Structure 1
């Protein structure tokens, strides 16, 4: 959330297609959870993308952060109002934090979800 005008979103490449694994609604913007083959998943502003397929995957769930004690700190600190994505991300706060921080255990759990359900 500490983007500045010079924030780099490499390893993304202009013109490449990326799967969106979740969406995060922050004040007046939406971020996507994406990944490249060499990287763990990371959040990037949706304004960097052109949607090719706008369908929501079956099985996705949502979490209104203000209504969930474990996720409420996301609203308080960053104004994240809602998460929409695979169930593990929106129902297990420690998994969400682990994905954001690149924790190897939680990234592995993400990869397992990616292979089976996402």
Structure 2
């Protein structure tokens, strides 16, 4: 799945999804295309896991992007989460992201094992991408 960045700031404060204000500047570049490594329903809003301009995995609000290739990668999984209305309700993505409920938080905390798994997945996804 690929998305193209339409904006990186100026979103109104959401009623759902990630927490930000209209002054939040996101670490993505307008016009740039990004592979998506996960999709979650968080606080009843849709978020995308991508490797942003920092090179690290971060969840971004879908409102920043347009989908340019909506095909889901082979091997992706789906699960619901019982984390409450203000947290993750559902998640799509690579197996460890979906199967290990602690992996999502470990990525955000930049724990070495989670980062290794993510970067290994990014590398394998790049190798599997059509030329």
Question: 1:54–1:24: structure 2 CA closer, same or farther, 3 Å change rule?
Answer: same
Structure 2: segments with no counterpart, 5+ residues: 1-17, 127-131
1:76 has 2:81 as partner: no
Q: Output the CA distance in 2 between the equivalents of 1:57 and 1:51.
A: 14
The Cα RMSD (Å) is 1.9
Q: Distance in 1 between matches of 2:101 and 2:45?
A: 21
User: Aligned-pair distance for 1:79?
Assistant: 3.8
Structure 1, unaligned stretches of length 5 or more? 67-74
SS at match of 1:108: helix
Once the two structures are overlaid, the 10-residue window that deviates more, 31-40 or 88-97, is 31-40
Q: What TM-score results when the alignment is normalised by the length of structure 1?
A: 0.80
More helix by share: 1
Question: 4+ runs of 1 displaced by more than 6 Å?
Answer: none
Any idea what SS the aligned residue of 1:52 has? Answer: strand
Matched, 1:33 2:41: no
Does 2:25 match 1:8? yes
Tell me, in whole angstroms, the C-alpha distance in 1 between the residues paired with 2:23 and 2:99.
33
* Structure (1 or 2) with the greater strand fraction: 2
